[in-house]
Amino acid sequence: MSRQRNKNRLTNDLDSGEEEKDFSDFYSDEVPKEKRKPSDPEDILSRRNTWVIGIFIVVAVLWRFDWSPMKAAYGIGSSISNLFQSSDQVTTSQSTAINFTQLEYFDAIKDLNFDGTPTLNNTSILYQNRVPVEYLQALDDLDYLSDLTPNQALALHSSGVDIEFIEVMEELDYLDEVSYSGIIGMSSSGVSMDYLRTLDDVDYLDEVNYSGIIGMYSTGVSESYLRTLEDIDYLDEISYSGIIGMYSNGVTEEFLRELEDRDMLEDLSYSQIIQLYNQN
């Protein structure tokens, strides 16, 4: 009897007008993307590449350390240790950029009479470019350093200008007449100290600028040619470009003396002399 009642109750529940619950809302219409299975070809290829690279690195490390695992482990450990030590060294070297040698250099030149007070940066550049203290001291002794900034003093030294070359110009009272760039130009062009002395002897040094001196020397105007022009009293009548012009056109010292002997020289310009010489 009880089984029959339960059966009837179940039948009644099923036949009742109560709507069935819809459980479809618990499921998404979209089917989630399937995760890549371990057996997928791309995954297998990726894992194989990783293994190949790993094996290659291990072989390379062992080869580097003579196929000895112990040496390899020691070498890698040493490299890591050195990396941290080098970082410490860089930091330390930056914090002690001015060492004792530089301090001695600064102390030695601080009382020299530059044109303006040298800064720490100026003096550092002089030190780094190995400008000797003796070089700067010699310029100071010539009373020429006061006309120079530290960078100009560096330019003289870097260009190979000897102190002796500057001493000759001081001896000839020409140092105040020429700029440091003029000194560099004459020195770099090979103008000899004897050539400067000859120009002073014929009283022409004060009449010509440094570019004129370089021009005459580079063209090959000889000291003898200059002395001949002085002897015939024509040097004061002609510019350095005129001297270069006559010399370059082959006008000889003998021809100039002949013109002087005929009392023709003072009435002629250098271009007329060149023309007469070419017609002769």
> What string of H, E and C letters represents the secondary structure of the chain?
CHHHHHHHHHHHHHHCCCCCCCHHHHCCCCCCCCCCCCCCHHHHHHHHHHHHHHHHHHHHHHHHCCCCHHHHHHHHHHHHHHHHHHHHHHHHHHHCCCCHHHHHHHHHHCCCCCCCCCCHHHHHHHHHCCCCHHHHHHHHHCCCHHHCCHHHHHHHHHCCCCHHHHHHHHHCCCHHHCCHHHHHHHHHCCCCHHHHHHHHHCCCHHHCCHHHHHHHHHHCCCHHHHHHHHHCCCHHHCCHHHHHHHHHCCCCHHHHHHHHHCCCHHHCCHHHHHHHHHHC
Is 197 within the bounds of a domain? Answer: no
Is 266 within the bounds of a domain? Answer: yes
Closest CA to 183 of 219, 218, 155, 146: 155
The tally of domains found in the chain comes to 1
Is 226 within the bounds of a domain? Answer: yes
Residue 137: the pLDDT is 94
Full domain range(s) for residue 242: 221-280
Is 238 within the bounds of a domain? Answer: yes
Is 271 within the bounds of a domain? Answer: yes
Is 265 within the bounds of a domain? Answer: yes
CA end-to-end span of the chain, whole Å?
Answer: 162
Is 94 within the bounds of a domain? Answer: no
Ranges of the chain with pLDDT below 70: 1-100
Residue 199: the pLDDT is 97
Residue 78: the pLDDT is 52
Is 154 within the bounds of a domain? Answer: no
Residue 53: the pLDDT is 52
Q: What is the pLDDT of residues 36-69, one digit of tens each?
A: 445 555 555 455 555 545 554 554 544 454 555 5
Q: What is the pLDDT of residues 199-238, one digit of tens each?
A: 999 999 999 999 999 999 999 999 999 999 999 999 999 9
Residue 12: the pLDDT is 46
